[in-house]
């Protein structure tokens, strides 16, 4: 609990790619899903997530990360 | 009113009044509850408004460590606008987000007005649900209600929780969330005590799950832990088959050991293939309504 009260929010996603090519990821954003799907097109779960991400109309008005106070 | 929730859910949550009104009416009660906080099953009774801290270490202030569109949860909820509040009442040894989840000082003080504007904008671009999570969102129920009170009544809301809430907290959120996504982590008291330091885990989590299934749609999520299929998943699966036979169960093999934590020896690896297969077999033997599994 030593983090200062004004520290910035997380700016990264946790990611693990196993030797067999399976991708585990936490905080999966649409952009990351699309990227990981390109990396391993055989990962069916990631493919579905990338498709869901891609089906949503593009929008630049939604900020996707919090800013430090 | 009837909230038109997701197509895949047959039974919409029926509300006697507008959700915004219900949430707004509970804000003063929730603020008052912080003066002797018993929002989660730890029942600390501390005055968070007066600067005291309970086991979650959270004060009255709520911070958000991420608010963004995500596609990592159960497919039927996606895309979701996920709002993650910092601070948690549990300290699970294997928590992937650990410090960001546990430390209530991390993140930004985003006002409910701003969060609701972002969420509403995301919904307008095709996002399917708004998800409230943490850490553990129960800890910041006041900020949650202040946000819900500003969201459109018809927005499908997801409560993603560790299912360790008190009866008081459940009463304050009754009728507000269309779907609970509840973690069921441990299948026996010893593992709950050893890996999360919780004494009465089973009683509390089961009480929460049964309540949630009566009050909303429910997805129960279990992340398989290496070495814990027999001691945790098996008894859990049997309990679910008896008490919540039709509930949706999301059985995940996504655990991985993070180097940032001091882990118990059995958690230094990912789940083995034979363990996964045994877990799916147990689920099938118990006739569980599995979603999201990839054997
Ligand atoms: S939310 Fe739970 S852990 Fe935090 S002060 Fe309240 S009762 Fe204690």
The model's pLDDT over A28-42, given as tens digits with 9 standing for 90+, comes to 999 999 999 998 888
Per-residue pLDDT band at A65 (split at 50, 70, 90): very low
Q: What confidence tens digit (pLDDT) does each residue in B127-142 have?
A: 999 999 999 999 999 9
Give chain A as a DSSP string. Answer: --S-TTPPPP---EEEE-TTS-EEEES--HHHHHHHHHH-TT-HHHHHHHHHHHHSPP-SSS--S----
Cβ separation A52–B71 shorter than 8 A: yes
For B98, the enclosing helix (H) or strand (E) is helix B98-102
Which tokens in the block code for residue B217? 């749609």
Q: Is the dihedral of CA B124, B77, A68, B142 positive or negative?
A: positive
When comparing pLDDT for B179 and A27, which is higher? Answer: B179
Report the alpha-carbon distance of residue B210 to residue B180 in Å, rounded: 11
pLDDT band at B293 (very low <50, low <70, confident <90, very high): low
* Facing A33 at nearest CB: one of B71, B122, B125: B71
Q: Which residues contact ligand 1 via a Cβ below 6 A?
A: B 37-40, 42-44, 46, 48, 54-56, 58, 89, 139
Q: Which helix (H) or strand (E) holds B118?
A: helix B112-124
Note the pLDDT of residue A12.
59
Counting Cβ atoms within 10 Å, is residue B49 exposed (0-12), middle (13-18) or buried (19+)?
middle
Chain A interface, Cβ < 8 Å to B: 1, 3-5, 7, 9-10, 14, 16, 18, 24-30, 33, 44-45, 48-50, 52-53, 55-57, 59, 61-69
Does residue B268 have a pLDDT over 70?
yes
- Asked if A65 lies within 8 A of B79 by C-beta distance, the reply is no
pLDDT at B292: 67
pLDDT the model gives residue B6: 47
- For the segment B235-241, the average pLDDT, to the nearest whole number, is 98
Average pLDDT, stretch B85-109? 89
CA atoms within 13 A on the CB side of B42: 20
Instruction: Give the pair of three-digit tokens for residue B39.
Output: 């929002």
What's the mean pLDDT in B40-62? 97
**Is-contact A56 B128, C-beta < 8 A?**
no
CB pairs under 8 A between A and B: 107
Which pTM value belongs to this model?
A: 0.89
CB-nearest to A69 from B66, B108, B127 is B108
The SS3 call for residue B219 is strand
Cα separation, B68 vs B122, in Å, equals: 9
Chain B: residues touching A (Cβ < 8 Å): 57, 63-72, 75, 78-79, 81, 96-97, 99-100, 102-103, 105-110, 118, 121-122, 125-127, 254, 256, 258, 270, 294
Of residues A24, A53, A66, nearest to B254 (C-beta)? A24
Mean pLDDT of B33-51: 98
For A49, B65, B273, the CA distances from B253, given in Å and listed in that order, are 17, 25, 10
């Amino acid at each position: 609990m030593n983090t200062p009260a004004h520290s910035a929010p997380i700016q990264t996603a946790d990611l693990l790619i196993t030797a067999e090519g399976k991708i585990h990821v936490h905080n999966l954003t649409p952009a990351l899903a699309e990227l990981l799907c390109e990396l391993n097109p055989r990962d069916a779960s990631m493919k579905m997530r990338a498709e869901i991400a891609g089906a949503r109309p593009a929008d630049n008005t939604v900020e996707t990360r919090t800013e430090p106070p | 009113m009837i909230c038109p929730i997701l197509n895949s859910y047959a039974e919409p949550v029926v509300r006697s009044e507008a959700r915004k009104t219900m949430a707004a009416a509970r804000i003063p009660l929730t603020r008052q509850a912080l003066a002797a906080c018993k929002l989660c099953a730890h029942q600390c009774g501390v005055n968070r408004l007066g600067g005291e801290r309970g086991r979650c270490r959270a004060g009255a202030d709520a911070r958000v460590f991420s608010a963004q569109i995500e596609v990592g949860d159960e497919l039927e909820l996606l895309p979701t606008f996920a709002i993650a509040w910092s601070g948690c009442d549990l300290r699970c040894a294997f928590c992937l987000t650990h410090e960001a989840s546990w430390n209530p000082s991390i993140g930004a003080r985003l006002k409910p007005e701003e969060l609701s504007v972002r969420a509403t904008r995301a919904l307008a671009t095709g996002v399917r649900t708004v998800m409230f999570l943490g850490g553990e969102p129960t800890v910041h129920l006041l900020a949650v209600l202040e946000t819900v009170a500003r969201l459109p009544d018809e927005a499908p809301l997801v409560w993603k929780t560790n299912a360790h809430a008190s009866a008081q907290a459940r009463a304050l959120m009754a009728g507000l969330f269309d779907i609970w996504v509840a973690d069921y982590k441990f299948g026996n008291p010893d593992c709950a005590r050893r890996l999360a330091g919780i004494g009465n885990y089973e009683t509390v989590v089961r009480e929460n799950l049964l309540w949630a299934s009566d009050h909303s749609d429910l997805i129960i999520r279990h992340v398989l832990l290496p070495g814990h299929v027999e001691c945790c998943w098996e008894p859990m699966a049997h309990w679910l088959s008896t008490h919540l036979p039709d509930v949706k169960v999301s059985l995940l093999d996504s655990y991985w050991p993070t180097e940032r934590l001091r882990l118990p020896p059995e958690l230094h690896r990912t789940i083995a293939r034979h363990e996964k297969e045994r877990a799916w077999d147990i689920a099938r033997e118990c006739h569980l309504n599995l979603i999201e599994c990839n054997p």
